Amino acid sequence: MLVLCSVGCDIKTNKSDVMVNNLSTSFQNSKTTLTDFVNQWSQESLELQSDQLTDLEREIHEIYKVVYSPFEFERYGWTNWNNWTPYMLSSYIVIQQEIPFVKTDKIDTINFNYHYKDTLRNFTPNVHFKNVTNLYLTPTYQNVFKNFLGDPVNENEREIFREKKDFLKRALPISFGYNWRVILTHPLIDGICITNDFKKATVEFTLLQSGLRSFLVKENDAWKIASTKTIWIE
């Protein structure tokens, strides 16, 4: 299995434990805000952005930037949303730390049964949205939210989980679900299949409570979405 690191891999220390304690203290004390926590995260995220990419990494970054549209769902053919999304008023977006992918000689437009055997880790795409700050979910921050939110298995545990989600909503965009992944801003890329000549690609992704697949082609050195199809709905 091939694992690519776009930037230096996050070193696991007791830093995440300290951050979990701080976040838990903030949650327990309603007078404490998330400002310091988010400011620290945004500064660390800014320092992670890198232009030192391999050709394959650069293509995956460009594909991601074309597909990733948390503020405009019409890009996927969802015209009934009327230019509104759940993230519309957010000042931050939380970007996933890794992208599963596979390279192939030819895109299979019939079966689409891809095994994403490789992973691009420490993913820090330089996406730009007006008045929005990128927050990258590095392994350290993923560990923070895993420990802070927990993984509820019954309704009693879900009550405190929902309270913690509401607390985080004061500063951060929150999605659906009952585990740490609620911190990630949709769409979430489930896998990218790209041809070896970097001319065609498919992207499978989760948007709210639906699964979609986009087919992309490269024209004049730029990736474009040729079509998007909803493949499952919860």
Model confidence at 32, in pLDDT bands (50, 70, 90)? low
Strand, helix or coil for residue 24: helix
Model confidence at 5, in pLDDT bands (50, 70, 90)? low
**Paired strand residues for 104:** 195
What distance in Å separates the CA atoms of residue 64 and residue 15, rounded to the nearest whole number? 30
- Over residues 130-141, the mean pLDDT reads 95
What distance in Å separates the CA atoms of residue 10 and residue 50, rounded to the nearest whole number? 14
Question: What are 49-53's contacts with CB under 8 Å, separation 24+?
Answer: 49/7, 49/124, 49/126, 50/6, 50/7, 50/124, 51/126, 52/7, 53/6
Strand, helix or coil for residue 161: helix
Strand, helix or coil for residue 129: coil
**Lowest mean pLDDT: which of 26-30, 197-201, 222-226, 228-232?**
26-30
Residue 197 CA, distance from chain mean position: 26
**Paired strand residues for 99:** 120
Residue 187, class by beta-carbon neighbours within 10 Å (0-12 exposed, 13-18 middle, 19+ buried)? Answer: buried
Residues above pLDDT 70, as percent of the chain: 92
For position 99, what pLDDT does the model report?
A: 97
Which carries the bigger pLDDT value, residue 26 or residue 203? Answer: 203
